[in-house]
Structure 1
Amino acid sequence: MPAAAKSLPTPRQWISLAATIAVTLFLLLTPGAPLLVRAGAVIGLCIGLWATGWLPQWLTALVFFTLCTVAGVAPADIVFAGFGSAATWLVFSGLIIGAAIQYTGLGTSLAQGVGPWLEGSYRRALIGVILLGLAMAFFMPSGMGRILLMVPILTTLADHLGYEPGERGRTGLILGGMMGTFLPTYAILPANVPNNVLMGAAEAVLGTPPNYSDYLLLHFPVLGLLKTLLLIAVMLWLYPAHPPRQTTTTLDAPSRLSRPELGLAGLLSVAVLLWMSDAWHGISPAWIGMLVALVCLFPGSRLMGQNPLQSISFDSFLYVAGIVSLGALAFHSGLGERVAGSLLSVLPLHEAADAAAFGMLSGLAMLLGTLVTLPGIPAILTPMAPGLANITGWTPEAVYMTQVVGFSTVLLPYQAPPLIVGILAARISLRETARLCLVTALLSVLLLWPLNYLWWEWLGWL
């Protein structure tokens, strides 16, 4: 009887089911309704389910695909756009690479190499993994790739330092490393997908993309360095922990790598070099990752076990495909532009001072990200930059750069596929991550946005 009771849906799951049925009936009974309305119903339902976490993330993605297909909300190339996205296949390759790191023991060896620098103090360990994550962004342009590469190393490190699953020290170390290679790195031009979308959209609209040095000077001092310090302070506040334990799993002296470990290390070194030089050779980080994954999966490579795909959870693969497809539907239906236009129509930009306009445009980007996810923000707002420049009196470049302030302020995890993939891979609570995002976002708006405005003003951008 208790086992049967546990298998019954929870009240939140009943509510989710009722909402899904209601949206399904609406779509089936109103086939002639405007695309904007039909797409809005599906998008609203899925964003609500992803934001609350009342259903598993992968199940909500399947709900999205099913509703859109059954009700004919959009063409198949839009509904399933996520499966054609490089980001989704980067997730797949990252899952393979992470499994290979665990299978060969390379994660343990890397943790043994890093561990001596981090032993003795939880504060030192936490600051160390955050700074390691930030440093990786200068060498590895894919946020998804960095997080998927770090997760097995962070989990192994937490094991060796004696932090058990569920302990705040373990959560702090893993979340700290992931957030360190995620939140501050929006200040580095090629380090995340939204940055690259902004670069491409700016070139398409204005003819010239931002260059690396100008972008770094404009954003890194505040959104990079100061946000890193803010993240360290927030992590130490939210996740206090005891010093690393001296246990049987404590870090041993690094030993010689086995042949499979050496092979995988060499393979990953080549991948990182190719990721670093993608501006030169033009190969997407996703396909570099897939080449590595194919080598790992090839029979006889000794980098994966028997039936390797059976040992991998495809939850994150389905989730990212769903998120990307949702953004494509929001763009295709015009919902994203309609929401942005409606928000702009109520913003008093004509008579606003520069500081107020800076806050409103950054806030617009931040709020729009809750609808279209982070990569969708520059695709929608960048074409509006010339018109907004006429209203504010700024240059178009200054207008579209406010998007970086907005999309670097992440309100909820579902907005950012790399982050959600990382917490799924590391088995970190969605609620814990959402709380960290909200606290960091609030403090960023209160503390970093004003400093960012003053920095821009001092540089002469406004």
Structure 2
Amino acid sequence: MPTSPAAIALPLRQRLALAAICVTGLALFQPFWTLDAQVRAGAAVLLAIGLWTTGWLPPWLTALVFFTLCMAGKVAPAADVFAGFASSAVWLVFSGAVLGEAIRHTGLGERLADRLAPVLTRSYPRAVAGVTLFAAAMLFIMPSAMGRTMLLLPILAALADRLGYRPGSKGRIGLILGGLFGTYLPATAVLPANIPNNVLAGSMESILGLVPSYGPYFLLHFPILGALRLGLLIALLAVLYRDAPQAAAAAPPQTAPGPTTAAQRRLGLVLALAVVLWSSDGWHHIPAAWTGMLAALVCLFPGSGLLPGNAFGSLRFEAIFYVAGIVSLGAVADHSGLGASVARLAIAALPFSPEAPGLAFGLLSGLSTLVGLAVTLPGVPPVMTPLTADLAAAVGWSPMAVAMTQVVAFSSVILPYQAPPLVVAIQSGYLPGRDVTRLCLLTAAITIIALWPLDYWWWRVLGLIG
């Protein structure tokens, strides 16, 4: 019996996605003329960014399309196309997923939520402020933004339940957004608390011979891009997502946890040891990803009682492919020279001048922001740091000052695909993509319009420029 047309009809957005994939594939595979390596890479990169931004396809499927086109079209070597799977970010996602499932399975998230809930119940602004500040405090203990995100999400969801905000409610979305953005946005202002920060430090040391230290970095960036932005974030969420809890849903008697179980105590010990190792990585030099994997292995080991018997089968791997795709996109763009070419074209076109330091600050930060849209935020330092000497000569600043404008740029997350922790929150089902995208756009607009000028004057007060 033939299949009816209705059974194979595709929604408009999927038809558009298929058309874009076919056009890109034809450009890569056509035999009539040889395309420049940067043009080929640009086609694959633009397709992936476009599909991730529009949401026409599931993000994990877009990543698979990107891998396939790059390999079939010989856009870059396999080592670059699949570089994401060798990155620590992917294994942080995996270990975070395991720890998050253990927190859910043992009920530890509900117990922690019960401890936090009493101090957050007076008003919605108080709840948002408490959640956001609690998540921000975690960045001083746990150096990996991805690890913090995976650890916090199940706790935030349980806390929203305890406060009476049901799944899908406006108040619940606002609380989880507060925790997510509270642990990610200010992390760019604390040196070891985010991947782009660490990539920048490594790039500066290897290329410029400069090593940014914790204290000066913190003083330069945290007052404006950290503390002040946290306050603005809390105010924004309190206005946009203000909601009344449903009293009947708050701490229902049938789900109230009893005494602390042995599994909860064991998991609490595992998490405490993991946090100690995360916070002391400067001493033992074990990367955060592998500390997380050690904790995940303890949870996965048969007989631990920290996960159900079919734990591996119940884990969701969509986020792993997506994060791997994002990291690989930056590697492909870097291998082809696409990011550096975009930056050099912009340098030639922009009116840099030592006599206009304010304009130079905006142009340098804007240039790195543009690069971040092309190669994602962790890809900004590898592209921009080699250009620092030329840029410093053009604007008459020190190389350190020019390099620090990258922080201003990658602190302005315009779209979620630029920052893997935000994508993981979407892919894990804790937040709708439209809400994360809207908050990215709002916070980026506020940062660029209001905080960049304030940051410029703060730099002048500290004597870094001017």
Query: What is the Cα deviation at residue 119 of structure 1?
Result: 1.4
Equivalent positions of 1:118-129 (< 5 A) are: 118-129=120-131
Whole-Å separation in 2 of the counterparts to 1:379 and 1:253: 50
Deviation at 1:4, TM superposition (A): 9.4
Partner of 2:348 in structure 1?
345
What residue is the counterpart of 2:67 in the other structure?
65
The question of 1:267 aligning with 2:270 is answered yes
Match of 1:309 in 2: 312
Q: CA deviation at 1:208?
A: 2.5
Residue 290 of structure 1 is matched in structure 2 by 293
1:162 match: 164
Tell me which residue corresponds to 2:326.
323
Q: Higher mean Cα deviation, 343-352 or 278-287?
A: 343-352
| Native 8 Å contact 1:161 1:250 kept in 2 | no
The residue number in structure 2 matching 1:419 is 422
1:281 aligns with 2:270: no
Contact 1:155/1:426 (8 A) holds in 2: no
Counterpart for residue 94 of structure 2: 92
Equivalent of 1:373 in 370, 373, 376: 376
Residues in 2 aligned to 1:187 and 1:129: alpha-carbon distance in whole angstroms: 19
Deviation at 1:254, TM superposition (A): 7.0
Distance in 1, matches of 2:8 and 2:109, equals 36
Task: Determine the C-alpha separation between the residues in 2 that align with 1:9 and 1:162.
Answer: 39
Distance apart, 1:33 and its partner CA: 1.7
The Cα shift of 1:116 comes to 1.1
Structure 1 position 417, deviation (Å): 0.5
* CA deviation after TM superposition for structure 1 residue 226, in Å: 0.5
Report what 2:13 is aligned to.
12
Change (3 A) 1:235 1:383: same
Q: How far does the alpha carbon of each residue in 1:173-209 deviate from its partner, in whole angstroms, 9 at most, with x for none?
A: 0111000000112110000000000100111122131
Tell me the CA shift for residue 313 of structure 1.
0.9
**Residues 1:386 and 2:385 are matched in the alignment:** no
Counterpart Cα distance in 2 of 1:198 and 1:61: 25
Look up the match of 1:35.
37
Partners of 1:379 and 1:6 in 2: how far apart? 47
Q: CA deviation at 1:245?
A: 2.6
Taking the aligned partners of 2:239 and 2:336, their CA distance within structure 1 comes to 43
Which deviates more, 6-15 or 384-393?
A: 6-15
Aligned-residue identity in percent: 53
1:116 to 115, 118, 136: 118
- 1:120 touches 1:243 (CA, 8 Å); kept in 2? no
Question: Which of 438, 446, 462 is the equivalent residue of 1:459?
Answer: 462
Q: Pick from 396, 400, 403 the counterpart of residue 400 of structure 1.
A: 403
CA distance, structure 2, for counterparts of residue 59 and residue 239 of structure 1? 31
The DSSP-based 3-state class of the residue aligned with 2:290 is helix
Residue ranges of structure 2 left out of the alignment (5+ in a row) = none
1:311 CA displacement: 0.8
Match of residue 48 from structure 1: 50
The amino acid that maps onto 1:258 is T
How far apart are the structure 1 equivalents of 2:308 and 2:162? 24
Distance 1:390 1:34 in 2: 31
| 2: CA distance, partners of 1:277 / 1:7 | 55
Q: Determine if contact 1:143/1:418 at 8 Å carries over to the other structure.
A: yes
Q: CA deviation at 1:248?
A: 5.7
AA paired with 1:350? S
Letter in structure 1 aligned against 2:56: W
The whole-number CA distance in structure 2 between the counterparts of 1:220 and 1:255 is: 41
1:162–1:246 Cα contact (<8 Å) kept: yes
1:151 and 1:426 in contact (8 A); partners too: no
Contact 1:162 / 1:250 at 8 angstroms: preserved in 2? no
2:431 maps to what in 1?
428
Residue among 170, 176, 179 paired with 2:178: 176
Give the superposed CA RMSD.
1.7
- Measure the CA separation in 1 of the matches of 2:55 and 2:123: 34
CA shift for structure 1 position 243: 4.2
- TM-score, normalised relative to structure 1: 0.96
Letter in 2 for 1:54: W
The answer on 1:439 being equivalent to 2:442 is: yes
Distance 1:459 1:345 in 2: 30
Q: 1:120 Cα deviation (Å)?
A: 2.8
| One-letter amino acid matched to 2:57 | L
What is the match of residue 205 of structure 1? Answer: 207
Aligned twin of 1:249: 251
For 1:8 and 1:124, how far apart are their aligned partners in 2? 48
Q: Secondary structure at the match of 2:142?
A: coil
Aligned residue for 1:410, secondary structure, equals: coil
1:410 pairs, out of 410, 413, 416, with 413
Which structure 1 segments of 5+ residues have no match?
Answer: none
Return the letter of the residue paired with 2:62: T
Separation in 1, partners of 2:7, 2:298:
42
Deviates more, 1:205-214 or 1:26-35: 26-35
**Contact 2:164-2:247 within 8 A present in 1 as well:** yes
Deviations 1:48-75 (A, max 9, x none): 0001111100000000111111122111
1:77 paired with 2:79, answer yes
- Other-structure match for 2:154: 152
Q: Rate the CA distance shift 1:359–1:253 in 2: closer, same or farther, 3 A.
A: same
Instruction: Say if 2:165 and 2:250, in contact at 8 Å, map to a contact too.
Output: no
Q: Distance in 1 between matches of 2:41 and 2:208?
A: 30
CA contact (8 A) 1:93 1:293 kept: yes
Contact 1:121 1:243 in 2 (8 A): no
> How far apart are the structure 2 equivalents of 1:325 and 1:193?
15
Corresponding position of 1:215: 217
Report the number of matched residues. 460
Give the match for residue 362 of structure 1. 365
In 2: Cα distance, 1:285 partner to 1:132 partner: 21
Aligned partners of 1:369 and 1:387: how far apart in 2?
Answer: 19
1:24 aligns with 2:22: no
Alpha-carbon contact 2:300-2:311 (below 8 Å) kept: yes
CA change 1:351–1:189 in 2 (3 A) is closer
